[in-house]
Structure 1
Amino acid sequence: MATSTDPAALYPDVAMEGSLAAALRAAAIKDGFSVPFTASESDLLRHAAVVSTVPQRTILEITAWVAERRWSIRGCESFQGMALIDGTTQDLAQVARAAQAWHDGAALTEISRAASFVHLTGRFEVADHDPVRLAESEWQHLLTEADEADWPEYRALVEAAYAEPALRGLYPFTSHWTLRFSTSTRPRLTVIPLCLDAHRDSRYTLSASIMGEVLVDTITVADAVSTAVRHLPSGLGPVTSGAA
């Protein structure tokens, strides 16, 4: 329920501390631990961050909502900048607990146990940036996302594509819920010009590119996936690194 867009009115406890970072430090101390929160110079009451002792993690970004009293978090892996955890809560103490676990290098599952609002995206950490493992991590994210989506056709598409070895060996990504593939990881994708789409009327299409020629339009997800495999370029090897 919206109450005010004035951060001092919406977050008077934060305003009393002078910044979101200071309020989080106070919440942590009250719980018996200490976390090195950093204040945002541009918006003291709405933004804060905390670094991690794990080198393959970015800072944990903490953001206060504008028109509702609530906080969001986002923590990414450092090589591609893809989210490992996110979540929203109205409990500042829970944010502080999640931040402590992120900073201290706790396993992702342990972070979600420390703070129940934390959502695991399905990705896992790949310390050595191995491209094959990064591709598998991205597949696990897409499977998690598909399982959470209220869209049976999309879930069926992702599961069928993952079950096909020729596609599972590629790096998957989505654009507006269109399933696509690359022969290299982020940050520099080498895109294969094939697009798999699920439709809510139980149809599946394979297109030659975004808005390109439709190669198949079917009610059977297996047909769409097998057609995609037949249209893959020849001679594809293991996924390579997309590092510049």
Structure 2
Amino acid sequence: MPTPPDPAVLYPDIAACGDLAAALRAEGDGCLDAVPLMSSDSAPLSHVAVESTLPHRKLLVISAWSYERGWSIRGEEAFQGMALVDGRTDDLAQIAGAARAWHDGVPLDGIRQVAPFAHLTGRFEVPDNDPARLTESEWQHLRKEAAELDTDWQETHHNLIEAAYAAPALRALYPFTSHWALRFSTSTRPALTLVGPILSAGSDGTYGVRGLMSQDGDRFATAQEAVAVAVRQLPSGLGPTTLGG
């Protein structure tokens, strides 16, 4: 991979302002004057973070691209550190709008209205860290992610996620993916408590089920068949999802 150009060469206007924080304030035309911006000590032309007035939101991190002009954002919830909003644009004015909305506690849908480039991950905010709501939020993220995939196996993966979500016994567990295999936990992040089995969608259109500590498993023609087997393999006596950590 070639060495990226000096940020001062790719972003001479940012360099002229001194750092990305100053350029963002200038582009915001006053909307960020009272908003705390934290410039990166090591890469002031490329990175800046924005605080939020909501305690359950972490910083909104704004980063400049390395090989072409543009910026990305990532805003996380505080307890698990999972993204609520992300996105990429070459319009710094829209970045300023997103930064102000994040700081002011504007609802996620409102951030999308202010900054159309912003992509909502499907997770919703759970200020009280209720484990059942965090579990549902993660399911909604996985469903949205699966629907938006741009891969040859998008349909099979999407089918798997939807079939698993339709099964109450699996929907009650906290879901996550590892190498695109669907896995489950009896606690939320940041401290997962793994429980089997593991579900996967194959590139050949089949669906796999294997045990938590196994590399082998069975293949099925439909997601519904695989999910039915996975439900039967769940340990008995599983209670409500608990708060990880």
Q: Which band: TM-score by shorter chain? A: over 0.9
Task: Kindly report structure 1 stretches of 4+ aligned residues shifted beyond 3 Å.
Answer: none
How far off its partner does 1:19 sit?
Answer: 0.5
Residue 46 of structure 1 corresponds to: 46
Residue 100 of structure 1 corresponds to: 100
How far off its partner does 1:211 sit?
Answer: 5.4
Identity of aligned residues (%): 57
Query: Residues 1-244 of structure 1: matches in 2 within 5 Å?
Result: 5-28=5-28, 30=29, 32-34=31-33, 35-150=35-150, 151-209=154-212, 212-214=215-217, 216-243=218-245
CA contact (8 A) 1:74 1:85 kept: yes
CA contact (8 A) 1:3 1:10 kept: no
How far apart, CA to CA, are the structure 2 residues paired with 1:44 and 1:7?
Answer: 10
What does the per-residue CA deviation read over 1:14-59, in whole Å, with 9 as the maximum and x for residues that have no partner?
000010111111111x265533221110111000000000000000
The answer for unaligned runs of 5 or more in structure 1 is: none
The code of the aligned residue for 1:164 comes to: A
How far apart, CA to CA, are the structure 2 residues paired with 1:73 and 1:176?
Answer: 24
TM-score by length of 1: 0.95
What does the per-residue CA deviation read over 1:147-166, in whole Å, with 9 as the maximum and x for residues that have no partner?
10131000000000000000
CA contact (8 A) 1:135 1:185 kept: yes
How far apart, CA to CA, are the structure 2 residues paired with 1:178 and 1:211?
Answer: 13
Please state whether the residue corresponding to 1:61 is helix, strand or coil: strand
TM-score by length of 2: 0.95
CA contact (8 A) 1:195 1:210 kept: no
Distance 1:17 1:211, change over 3 A: farther
Number of residue equivalences = 240
CA contact (8 A) 2:25 2:31 kept: no
The answer for unaligned runs of 5 or more in structure 2 is: none
CA contact (8 A) 2:196 2:233 kept: no
